[in-house]
Chains A and B, each alone.
Chain A
Amino acid sequence: MKLLEVDDLTVQYGPAVAVDNVSLELEEGERVALIGPNGAGKSSLINAICGMVKPARGRIRVRGRELTGASPGAIVRMGITQVPEGRQVFPTLPVEANLLLGAYGRDFRNELISATIRYLRRKGEIADRLERVYTLLPKLHELRERPAGQTSGGEQQMVAIGRALMAEPRLLAVDELSLGLAPMVVHGLSEFLRRLNEEEGVALLLVEQNASLAFALCSRAYVLETGRVVLSGTSEELENNENVRNAYLGSGLEAADA
């Protein structure tokens, strides 16, 4: 059974069509990229998958279970979490609180009072999970008492990833990992995601404008333009596709340099 199946999905904002009849699928433990220019509908697509926008048409299923129109919390409980564009950490809260809140939708549901009771009851298990995130991302342990807004961009991206991991996802949807970060930092984070995928089996859906990063990290990719999938295939096939090279890999510039 597929981990994620999206069939003929359409997302509209008023009359504007952001995602137009898109279908895609993803196996357990796979690494798949969505590439395309600004405004191609990549973010709208993963926001629909994560329940942040209601699709106008189409279906989304996780392991065969329908999730079209479910709330973001319900989708987190089905094993999909998002690392949002621009990190979106909780700036005034300490790093550790940011991480703990990642478990909120997974374990505490919506109500504040029952949330607190559940939290107290499952404290041990959540603490174990927190330890594991600290083992995976030791830097976060050092920063745990610092307000997340006072950490560097790369550290905030770690917080956002750690927060998503606290919900024990089967699929991590990462929106623009590289945005606004130094190449060194991006490299470190993408190696971390690769290890996470290989060692823990967490599937990745990577939304990226940086196509070379996407191809290096993912085995397959979909190319989105103006809301439609115009190309899809293995990273190797796409890397060798002339249109993709010209549009996304800047091969023209490299040729000029040579």
Chain B
Amino acid sequence: MTKFLQLAVVGISTGSAFALVGIGMVLIFRTTNIVNFAQGAFAVIGGLVMVGLVDDMHGIVAGTLAVLLVALIGALIGVIAVGFRTRTTPLASLIITLGLALLASSLNLLAFGDRPHTYPTIFERAWNIGGVLVQPQFVIVVGVTVLAALLLTLGLQRTIAGQALVACADSRRAAELVGINVRAVAAIAFAVSAALSALGWVLLTPIDPVNYDSDVRIAINGFAAAAFGGLVSIRLALVGGLALGLAEQLIVGYAPGQARQYELAAALVILLVLIGWRSRHEAVE
């Protein structure tokens, strides 16, 4: 039981980080119609920069700097992806993000080398609850994820700024006609979603080390979480991310021998089944 609970705690934490990546993808898709494959790179750069900075300064300062830096990179990628011509299609933008993701991973390889990076946790102590070790980071990442999901859902539905964001994806032409600066909106959406993804791995690197090519795994997990919500539902992206994280940890913990290497594939199959079940459920309604 203790083993199960411990795996669940870790699973929910990594699941939250996947959910943050997925929520970021949903945010970008809902505001620009772009499926952003550079989303994994945001997480990796966040984690790597954190590892690079954490020895020289207080962990909270390092984390804040890493998140802000990635937000800035995100804004830049957003502007490039949306393009300088009015007629850049979402498909072209998708290819641009894919290219930028490859570029980012090459640059990460040059800058950080080919080995997994991690740092010892910045918090002095963890809580021991009946034999289950709960690190403060776990609580923070879960809290941030739930809070982000809540605020973004409300923000997009209830505020004029959120509706302006959604309007850009709904009809770029009309959004421009009413005076919304579509490129600025894309930059904001990308910056926020980059910051969320980075935050996940700034917090989680101690239990889930990052390498230059971790972005593929992270992007796939995030995309699967986002796909669970049809790329438009923040709430379901949260559920999808948590389910993936949990499933992967449990497979790592309980699957026999070699099988545990395939935790990602197995988790994706589970999610695919869930997506299928959900869409049938919706079709019936």
Contacts and interface: CB of A to CB of B under 8 A. Distances in A.
A112 B161 contact: yes
A115 interface: yes
Interface in B115-174: 159-161, 163-167, 170-171, 173-174
A96 to B, nearest CB: 10
A157 to B, nearest CB: 13
Interface size class on chain B is: 20 to 34
A52 B177 CA distance: 7
Contact of B160 (A76, A92, A108): A108
Contact of A88 (B86, B160, B177, B179): B177
A81 interface: yes
A116 interface: yes
A111 interface: yes
B180 interface: yes
A101 B161 contact: no
Interface in A85-116: 88-93, 97, 100-102, 104-106, 108-113, 115-116
18 contacts: A52-B86, A52-B173, A71-B179, A71-B181, A73-B178, A81-B178, A82-B177, A88-B173, A88-B177, A89-B174, A90-B171, A90-B175, A101-B167, A109-B179, A111-B184, A112-B185, A119-B161, A160-B174
| Chief secondary structure at chain A's binding surface | helix
B181 A110 contact: yes
Interface of B: 86, 159-161, 163-167, 170-171, 173-181, 184-185, 188
A163 interface: yes
B177 A101 contact: no
Contacts of B165: 112
Given A104-B178, A104-B180, A93 B161 contact: no
Interface of A: 50, 52, 71-74, 76-77, 81-82, 84, 88-93, 97, 100-102, 104-106, 108-113, 115-116, 119, 160, 163, 167
Contacts of B163: 90, 93, 97, 100-101
